């Protein structure tokens, strides 16, 4: 038997309960993992509260990432006792996820634990941190170097934003954080932001082109915020877009692209190929300082997750939330 957070639908509403399940409940997979830590991401919040159409088949165990040790494996790449990390691949959406003491998945979904990390540290990083690293790598690939100017990070108080700030700071970039929560300003500076601007600055209607303020941006918000940012990017600058906390629309014009050569880079961590994924894990493990792990993680038990899921969808969760299994 093992404990899991299980989602069901009742009268078109999503209902979450912590249950004891038998091993026979596990889905098919090459590898069974003893989950030590999972984490709460924005997408998990949408799934658990039912605010987003994340899950289409029930019952479902949510949790788009987790870390732990292999219990059994029919794949030669993994042996019992190996430490592994999982992010993406539709886990927690259409395949049972990490908010359970055991998980069963195809071996292709797993990544060996990066050198220097354990399960707790890996989930402080989690999907959010992996996405942040992929965004940084996208900016690097676009030629955005630290000497070129300020990098803006929107949704800075969230999981992706907070990790991105620290990564950029470690690489020598000047980082400007954009947050709607003034009470987090000093915390954002403590993890690497050089200065903080209020979210309201980016909510005013955008002109086709505005004053050039940023050489690059990591955007987790989308919609009006991303549209505004695009008009303020320097000539030949770039935006790595990875989120839609503000909406999935993009009310913009072609002007930044055809007059300033601005590049809009889509970043996806869900289906990211193994080679790129392991490269990102290796780099994020190397770059994050030890102080990050003590400042960025709030640890909770499984029972606390439904209430926190509501909070994260309302923009009321700061940094990373770990779930200790």
* CA distance linking residue 33 with residue 61, whole number of Å: 14
Residue 174 resides in a domain: yes
Residue 284 resides in a domain: no
CATH number of the domain that residue 140 is part of: 3.40.50.720
Q: Give me the chain's average pLDDT, please.
A: 94
Each residue of 20-32: pLDDT tens digit? Answer: 999 999 999 999 9
Domain coverage including residue 257: 128-266
pLDDT of residue 291: 86
- The burial class, CB within 10 Å (0-12 / 13-18 / 19+), for 222 is buried
Query: 243, 300, 249: which is closest to 42 by C-alpha?
Result: 243
| pTM summary value | 0.90
Each residue of 266-317: pLDDT tens digit? Answer: 999 999 999 999 999 999 999 999 888 886 668 999 999 999 999 999 888 8
Alpha helices in 79-204 (DSSP H): 119-141, 159-170, 185-190
Query: 168, 170, 169: which is closest to 139 by C-alpha?
Result: 168
Question: What is the pLDDT averaged over residues 129-151?
Answer: 97
Claim to verify: residue 173 and residue 252 sit in the same structural domain: yes
Claim to verify: residue 261 and residue 164 sit in the same structural domain: yes
Residue 87 resides in a domain: yes
Phi, psi of 296 (to 5 degrees): -105, -10
């Amino acid at each position: 038997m093992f404990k899991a957070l299980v989602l069901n639908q009742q009268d078109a509403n999503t209902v979450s309960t912590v249950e004891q399940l038998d091993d026979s409940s596990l889905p098919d997979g090459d590898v069974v993992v003893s989950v030590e830590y999972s984490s709460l991401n924005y997408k998990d919040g949408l799934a658990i509260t039912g605010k987003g159409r994340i899950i289409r088949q029930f019952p479902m165990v949510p949790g788009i990432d987790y870390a732990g040790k292999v219990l059994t494996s029919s794949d030669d790449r993994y042996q019992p006792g190996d430490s592994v990390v999982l992010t993406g691949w539709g886990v927690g959406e259409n395949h049972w996820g990490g908010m359970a003491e055991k998980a069963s998945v195809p071996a292709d979904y797993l990544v060996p634990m990066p050198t220097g990390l354990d399960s707790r540290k890996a989930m402080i990083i989690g999907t959010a941190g992996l996405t942040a690293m992929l965004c940084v790598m996208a900016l690097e690939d676009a030629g955005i170097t630290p000497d070129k100017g300020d990098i803006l990070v929107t949704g800075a108080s969230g999981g992706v934003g907070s990790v991105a700030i620290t990564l950029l700071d470690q690489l020598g970039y000047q980082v400007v954080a954009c947050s709607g929560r003034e009470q987090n300003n000093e915390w954002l500076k403590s993890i690497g932001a050089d200065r903080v601007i209020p979210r309201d600055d980016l909510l005013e209607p955008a002109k086709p082109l505005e004053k050039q303020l940023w050489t690059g941006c990591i955007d987790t918000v989308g919609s009006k915020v991303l549209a505004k940012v695009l008009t303020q990017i320097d000539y030949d600058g770039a935006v790595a877009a990875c989120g839609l906390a503000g909406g999935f629309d993009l009310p913009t014009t072609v002007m930044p692209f055809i007059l300033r050569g601005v590049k809009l880079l889509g970043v996806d961590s869900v289906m990211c190929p193994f080679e790129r994924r392991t490269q990102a894990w290796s780099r994020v493990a190397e770059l994050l300082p030890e102080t990050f792990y003590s400042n960025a993680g709030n640890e909770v038990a499984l029972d606390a997750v439904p209430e926190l899921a509501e909070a994260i969808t309302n923009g009321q969760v700061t940094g990373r939330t770990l779930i200790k299994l």
